[in-house]
Chain A
């Protein structure tokens, strides 16, 4: 996988975000084993230490559990996954609203633009 990393953010956090996406979207299901340090390192083209750091950060949030000698597994606690889902939604909304705001749109304009955009999308799907 060829990944463009953002130089301003720690790479392990960028990988954590990618893995969180995969978990939230169900590519990795509750109880699934995440790739080993070596496999994930090769997949993301980073050092095994970076993967270790990623998994540690994820386990601190309860998203994964590391079992010694066995590997790292996605939590089976649905409430943690629901919370992660909600948090990622909030982050996307925040990013969108603040970027639009920076472009000079007021909050009501942002809301209106979004409504129009979604209406347009639904129409094109219905056609």
Chain B
């Protein structure tokens, strides 16, 4: 055996029998005469980062909203952690999402905003909020109103809101859109840290480099269907 082969053999590969976190079957969604999702199938295994790419208006956000239980499909089903959304559960369990810009109260501080959101779910302590803010690089003691936050800080706050309940599945719609390079890099670091912690992530993205860096697999949403991007598959493409 050559030196290279010895190294290759000793490196564990991803287990094929991992738990399935999202299982979408034949999802159809129409708006008027336009079919946005056309019998779409999708499976996301535990501990991976998957991306859905596609043009604006291709239905990426619609699909994320369906997974998050914010809208219901016309037909088909979405299971998250084994529960069918809209049937077993209204919203998926153990899931945090950042879809669009959350409606923060601009005159309140970041901490106060998260505290108010936490009251709705009722199971997040102040310490947890402060810890989550620190994780995304925000200061819980910062009294500045959100109105004065930069795009990057608002994005971090949105991320903190998605993470504060310690979810196992994290759904992020274009998490780095509009951020400068350093801020993007930091979000990448957080996402990879979350993956190392065993979390499962589903993102949408317009940036090929980002998808290539972060994702275990990526798909293109076009004409209501997903197709796999063959060159972005960490099991084969980057070996």
Contacts and interface: CB of A to CB of B under 8 A. Distances in A.
Interface of A: 9-13, 36-39, 41-42, 45-50, 53, 56-57, 60-61
B188 interface: yes
B11 A48 contact: no
A104 B33 CA distance: 71
B215 interface: yes
A48 B213 contact: yes
B213 A12 contact: no
Contacts of A46: 212-213, 238
Nearest to B192: A48
A13 B239 CA distance: 8
A57 B213 contact: no
B216 interface: yes
Interface stretch (B2-10, B77-85, B99-107, B113-121): B2-10
Nearest to B239: A10
A46 to B, nearest CB: 5
A42 B187 CA distance: 13
B185 A12 contact: no
A49 B8 contact: no
Contacts of A36: 189
A48 B4 contact: no
Interface in B141-200: 185, 188-189, 192
Contacts of B38: none
Which residue, B216, B237, B238, B239, has most C-beta atoms of chain A within 10 A?
B238
Given A11-B239, A56-B11, A47 B209 contact: no
